[in-house]
Structures are given as structure tokens and as C-alpha cells.
Structure 1
Amino acid sequence: MTLMELREVWGNAPLIAAAVGVLIQDEQGRVLLQRRGDDGLWGEPGGALEPGEAFLTGARRELHEETGLDCPNLTLLPLPEGLQDGPELFHRYPNGHEIYIIGMRAHGTLPAAALEQAAPDDSGETLELRWFPLDALPDLSNNANRASLNVLRTRAGLPPLPLAPTPPAPPVGNFLMELRRVIGPRPWFAPGSNVLVTDDQGRLLLLRHGHTRLWTLPGGSLEPGETFAGTAARELFEETGLHAAHLDPLHMFAGPEYRFTYPNGHVVDFVSVLYRAHGVTGTLTPQEGEVLDVGWFSPDDLPGEEELSGELIRANLRWWRTHGDTPDQ
């Protein structure tokens, strides 16, 4: 199911769109922007991921579709500057569709002359392509573009562009459950966060989930307008009663290997940021009905892989054993 197919049954109401923005700079530091076909304004190439797609794969696909160009050194920006999230990334398209953009940013370089070989596809998404100096940007389409270009402006020592006002984020509910009533069990993105909490002996907190009866980390799904860090803090408290004074983003996990099928048949493609909790306070209080058991595990006595709740959690724990508290660089 594509985003446009979902719109046929969901209507204009806000959706969470897992998307990637592509920032390409030339040898002068100028950024490549496209004039968009929907509103005639400018923004970086990019767009929504396809189900099961990794961010870098999506970045390469979107760049080629919207410009006809390929960038050999395209990579995802490190966390946190690579993250897209938050209520300010609300956007209402000219056709009335509303989204909250979440995801990642990719960055690469191409020579200015590469633009001579540009050949956007015939979808009408790209009206024009041009290099722009970071201190002389055109009218930008939305806050996602402004926030992405602010990453480059900050790197260049320039002040950030102001973001346009956006409506308040809706109250936290159960967005994924509401979406399931419309799409059924079909695969769809489940953005969210998981949290590493360790005790003074270096042991990791794991929870046995009430639905799967498998071991997992504190964490859960992101709500419209919520940041990944906000999700991490909220889910940590809901599931354990604990608070973290600070949460460090370590790594984004997304791609076909993180597809998961729940016991009820619902299929999700996880788009998940792993956080490390610092300054944890409170009394460990497992969430009734949601958490069957809790345990503290050293790196050498973690549950077996078959006892863990899917490849995402297995990958999270491999990251912990290999990298500890070191974030992506």
C-alpha cells in the first residue's frame, strides 16, 4: 500500500510520513534545490519511503527520480542532525493532505557541472533544478526544507531560517491502532523509539511484553507531532515508571530487515531510534497488562535470540554489546 492509496481511505487527516531529505552540495558549498510541481516553491529532493525501504535506498531513489542524478558519496547524516521529527514538521499540501514528516536526512556532493546531465522523471514533481548559496536561498516550500537547510547553514556558521507557525500537535492517543482499523494487517511503517537503561552494575533493563511474551526494551510507537525523544521518554515512563534526565540518540534502525509480524497478523516496518537513558530516577513499576516481567541482564547473560521480540530488538542489543554508549558519527 502506498501513501496515495492510503489517502483514498484515510482522507486528508494527518498521517505520519516516513521520509528522507537529500542535501547535495557542489564544490562551492551551494545546495541543489528543486522547484516543486505542487506549490511552485523550492526544497531539497526527497520524499516518502516505500514499505520495507531503508533510508539510504530511498534517498538514492528519490534523488534519481527527481533529478536524474546519482551521488556516489551519498550517506545519512549522523544523529541528531540527521533526524527529522517534531510538531514543526507538519505540512498541509495544496490538495489538503496533512502530514507530520519524520525520518532522516542524507548528504552528498556533486560537481556543479553535474546539473547539465540532470533529467527529472516525467511525474511533474520537479519543475526546475538550481544551485543556491546557503546565504541566498529562495522561498522554501515547508518547514521540513527549512529545518534541513538549517543543518547546512549551522555547519557554515549562518543563522537558522525561521520556521513557519504550525498548528498544535494532536493529543497522544493510539494512532497506530486507528490506522489499523483502516488498513487492516497490511505492512505499514511504525516509527518509534527504544531505550537502553542500565543499573550501577552495567546491567541492561529488559521487559517481557504482555502480547508477545518475548523480551524487549522499553519503547513504543511515535504519535503524530511527537519527536523520537519524546516517544522514548513517554514510553519509558508508561512501561517502567522511570524518568530519564537526558536521552542520547545512538542509531536509527530502518529497512526491510526490521519488518515484524505481531501475533494478530499485523505487519509493521519499524523505523526506530535507539536512545541511551542518563540520570534515571523513579521506582521501577511495570505497566500492568503490558509488561509481564522485568529483568536486568549483563552483556554475557542476555536472553537467547529466540526469546527476543524480533530482529529490531536483536539489533538493538547487538548495538549495545558492540558500541555501548557511542552514538553514530
Structure 2
Amino acid sequence: MGSDEDWYNSYHGRVRAAMGSATLFFLAARGVIRDGQGRVLLIKRTDNGYWAFPAGAMELGESMRDCAIRETFEETGLKAGNAVLFAFLSGPQYTFTNVFGDTYQHISGSYLLTDITGELDPDPYEASDCGWFAPDALPEPTSGAVTWTLEHLARFEQTGEIFVD
């Protein structure tokens, strides 16, 4: 559960306050959960209205894997018992300016989450909705990260190699 105050007091919030408008590194992770029909779980983000995978910033003292599990739990109510890294992204092409005008170069891991427990219960601060979608029938508007994440996952499942970019 988050709030503006939580973000400002977080590592990324404090670094942003100290560095002003400079482009910063943003350490993050996303979680991908599939159901028995191959559909993926997406949230509708409250900050920009886009459908996306649950994701967010690492906290100090946390691993990227644990970040994916925590963020997914916080945003959906579903807890993963297992997380497998399938993509690690860090290149300049992952530099984005958010709705608040802050620019970040994302360094992120994408994890396939399994052994799921809990009930869908999206955090209204971060997700106005959530749902299961077939990869060929995604809702609009969908974040571009959903498309490339699904491509990275398919590549990983075909080759067994983590996608690094």
C-alpha cells in the first residue's frame, strides 16, 4: 500500500529530491503471472491509466527477485512462492520520462512468478483494476513494456536463456 509520502521517503524519492531534474537510474522489477489458460495478469495503473504488469522500484536491502514478488503482491494481492528471472534490461533504450516529468534509465528484471497464493485485491492507490488477458487480446491502452516482456518470456521459454539487453 503506497502513498505520495511513502514515495518521497523512499530511496528513489530521496535521490530524486537530491538530484532535481537529472536523469537517474531506476532499479526495478516486474512480475508475470499466468493462469491455467495461458492468460497473463495485468493491472490498470492509476498514475497513467495504462494496463501493465505489476512492477515497481527496489527498496534498500531487497533483491530484484524479492522486489518482483513484493510489488506483485502489493499491487494484486497475489503472492508468489517462486520467481524465475527471464529478462534483464539496462540499456539506454529503457530511458523514460514519467507522468511527473522525471526521467529515468530503468535497470530491471522480469520474473515469471509461480506457486501463487492469495486472492485478487488490487491496491487502489496503484491499480484501478486488474484482470487476466490472453496475450493476443490485450486491453487498451497497454504499456509498451507488456509487448516486449511477452516477447522476452517467449524467447526464454524457447531457448532457456535469459534475455539481456
TM-score, structure 1 as length reference: 0.44
Q: Is the 8 A contact 1:205 1:295 kept in 2?
A: yes
Q: Distance in 2 between matches of 1:236 and 1:249?
A: 14
**5+ residue gaps in structure 2?**
1-8
Q: CA offset at residue 324 of structure 1?
A: 4.3
Matches of residues 2-151 of structure 1 in structure 2 within 5 Å?
none
Identity %: 32
> Cα distance 1:175–1:229, how it changes in 2: closer, same or farther (>3 A)?
same
Q: Partners of 1:283 and 1:277 in 2: how far apart?
A: 15
Aligned partner of 2:130 in structure 1 is: 294
2:89 match: 253
| Bigger CA radius of gyration | 1
Between Structure 1 and Structure 2, how many residues are aligned? 154
What is the CA–CA distance in structure 1 between the aligned matches of 2:110 and 2:63, rounded to whole Å? Answer: 13
Residues 202-221 of structure 1 mapped to structure 2, 5 A cutoff: 202-221=38-57
- In 2, the alpha carbon distance for the partners of 1:244 and 1:322 equals 22
CA positional deviation for 1:277: 0.6
Counterpart position of 2:143: 309
Deviation at 1:320, TM superposition (A): 3.1
- Cα distance per residue 1:158-195 (max 9 Å; x no partner): xxxxxxxxxxxxxxx62111111111232111011101
Structure 1 Cα separation of the partners of residues 154 and 135 of structure 2 = 6
- Matched residue, 1:237: 73
Contact 1:193 1:222 in 2 (8 A): yes
**Structure 2 vs 1, CA of residues 324 and 300 (structure 1 numbering), >3 Å: closer, same or farther?**
farther
What is the distance in 2 between the residues matched to 1:185 and 1:293? 31
Residues 300/208 of structure 1: CA separation in 2 closer, same or farther (3 Å cut):
same
Partner Cα distance (1:301, 1:188) in 2: 34
Partner of 2:21: 185
- State the Cα RMSD in Å: 1.9
Q: Classify the secondary structure of the residue corresponding to 2:104.
A: strand
1:327 positional shift: 4.4
**How far has the Cα of 1:322 moved from its partner?**
4.3
Q: Which amino acid aligns with 1:177?
A: G
Give, in angstroms, the shift of residue 200 of structure 1: 1.1
Q: 1:321, CA displacement in angstroms?
A: 4.4
Structure 1 gap segments, 5+ residues each: 1-172
Mark the CA change 1:224 to 1:235 in structure 2 (over 3 Å): closer, same or farther.
same
Instruction: Tell me which of the two structures has the higher relative contact order, counting C-alpha pairs closer than 8 angstroms and 6 or more residues apart.
Output: 2
Q: What is the SS of the residue equivalent to 1:257?
A: helix
CA contact under 8 A between 2:86 and 2:152: conserved in structure 1?
A: no
- Separation (CA, whole Å) in 2 of partners of 1:178 and 1:328: 32
Q: Separation in 2 of the partners of 1:218 and 1:182?
A: 27
| 1:6-32 CA-partner distances (Å, limit 9, x unpaired) | xxxxxxxxxxxxxxxxxxxxxxxxxxx
Q: Give the Cα separation in 2 of the matches to 1:314 and 1:308.
A: 8
> Aligned ranges for residues 272-287 of structure 1 at < 5 Å?
272-287=108-123
Deviation readout 1:229-249 (Å, 9 max, x if unpaired): 111111111111111111111
Distance across 2 between alignment mates of 1:208 and 1:186: 28
1:223-275 residue CA offsets vs partner (Å, 9 max, x unmatched): 12211111111111111111111111111011111111111100011101000
Deviation at residue 286 of structure 1 after TM alignment:
0.2
| Whole-angstrom CA distance in 1 between matches of 2:31 and 2:75 | 11
Q: Which moved more, 1:315-324 or 1:188-197?
A: 315-324
Deviation for aligned residue 1:328: 1.7
Alignment TM-score, normalising by the size of structure 2: 0.85
Structure 1 match to 2:31: 195
